[in-house]
Copies of this chain bind each other. A is one copy, B any other.
Amino acid sequence: MNKMPDPMSEKTTLTDAVHNLLRRAIIEQALKPGMRLPEDTVGDQFGVSRTIVRHALVRLENEGLVVTRRNRGAFVAEPSLEEAKHVFEVRRCLETEVIRLLVERMPSDGYDRLAAHVRSEQTVQGKDGPVSIRLAGEFHVLLAELTGNHVLARYVSEVVLRCSLIMAMYAKSHSSDCAVDEHSQIIAAIRDGDTGRATRIMEHHLGAVAGRAELEKKPDSVQSILSRYGKELAS
């Protein structure tokens, strides 16, 4: 029955706080795919009422991080391999646009902020922890925000988060070493004004993770395991 850590405590509403906490918990794999999220359990944990939790869950459902079944409650999403491909497809599309836009209009402080981010990524390089995963995602969000297009940035943020969840399900390790290096390469290509090269690196960057996920296909959810056993049973 812990009290809420009172995050920011300022002008942010309780719903926002719970929303952010749940999202972080999902991304960092504290809450694993398929896990149930009963409203009053979550509410008790955070010291808020079900009303708040419900609102937060609605938002998370919109973001594709949880799914809710009528009268059954909310669960951490278990994206299928097909859905995963769809998410990556959209992500590739959006991030290509981000690069195009940045090549033609990178803000003045853009490269500084990118460099700072890469540095902070390097400090945790090698450690395969939640922090590493989060930072790798935030690099892409930062790129999107630098376009100045907040709508685009929001969608990029969403697909990046969903990709984190997908990686959590299907990939064995995030192996962020190559990622940081490729991040630097992308920045360099954008600075050179070389849209093609930047896009190619980005596609390789995303393709690598997507491809790895597909190869190491590791569906250990209750549902998928039982469906396999169910097929044996039917024969």
Contacts and interface: CB of A to CB of B under 8 A. Distances in A.
Interface of A: 11, 13, 51, 54-55, 58-59, 62-64, 70, 83, 86-87, 89-90, 93-94, 97, 101, 149-152, 155, 159
Main secondary structure of the interface of A (DSSP, over half): helix
User: How many identical chains are in the complex?
Assistant: 2
Contact of A97 (B83, B87, B93, B149): B93
A92 to B, nearest CB: 9
A195 to B, nearest CB: 14
B149 A89 contact: yes
Nearest to A54: B55
B93 A93 contact: yes
Given A13-B70, A93-B94, A152 B58 contact: no
29 contacts: A13-B70, A55-B55, A55-B58, A58-B58, A58-B59, A58-B62, A59-B62, A64-B151, A83-B150, A83-B151, A86-B149, A86-B151, A87-B151, A89-B97, A89-B149, A89-B151, A90-B94, A90-B97, A90-B149, A90-B151, A90-B152, A90-B155, A93-B93, A93-B94, A93-B97, A93-B152, A94-B94, A151-B159, A155-B155
